[in-house]
Amino acid sequence: MKKGAKRPSGEHIDGMYEGLPYTGPPLNLKNDDPASMRPRRRAEVKVYIFTMDEEKDRDRYAELLNEVALGWAQISEEKSEWIPRLETWKVFLRLLHHKYIEPEDMSRATT
């Protein structure tokens, strides 16, 4: 069954759930399953520091901003500073990453 496939009796969850990343094992849910069998939503705080003259930092910064644009993350704080000695920008970024994790009741998990 394909990822996120919905069927009249329920849903197969693997990788995404309700528009956000899902990090738990694949699940086969039924429409009448209680909340304890459904994935739990969490926000995880991460801090990043980028040196913008490094390609890998620019690429990762762009990836994270894309997650913000998709609604998967939220900027909590962002500061940038020009570093004359290095002739580049340093960026501090604190993000809340929104995601779903495995349910309390794992009886619908598939292998």
Assess contact for 91 and 79: CB atoms under 8 A.
Answer: yes
Distant-in-sequence, close-in-space partners of 106: CB < 8 Å, separation ≥ 6: 25
Cα(first)–Cα(last) distance of the chain, in Å? 13
Domain-by-domain residue ranges, the chain?
6-101
Across 28-48, average pLDDT:
94
What pLDDT, on the 0 to 100 scale, is given for residue 1? 47
What pLDDT, on the 0 to 100 scale, is given for residue 3? 52
Across 32-53, average pLDDT:
95
What pLDDT, on the 0 to 100 scale, is given for residue 111? 64
What pLDDT, on the 0 to 100 scale, is given for residue 22? 95
12-22, pLDDT tens digit by residue?
999 999 999 99
What pLDDT, on the 0 to 100 scale, is given for residue 7? 63
54-99, pLDDT tens digit by residue?
999 999 999 999 999 999 999 999 999 999 999 999 999 999 999 9
Q: Is the pTM of this model over 0.85?
A: no
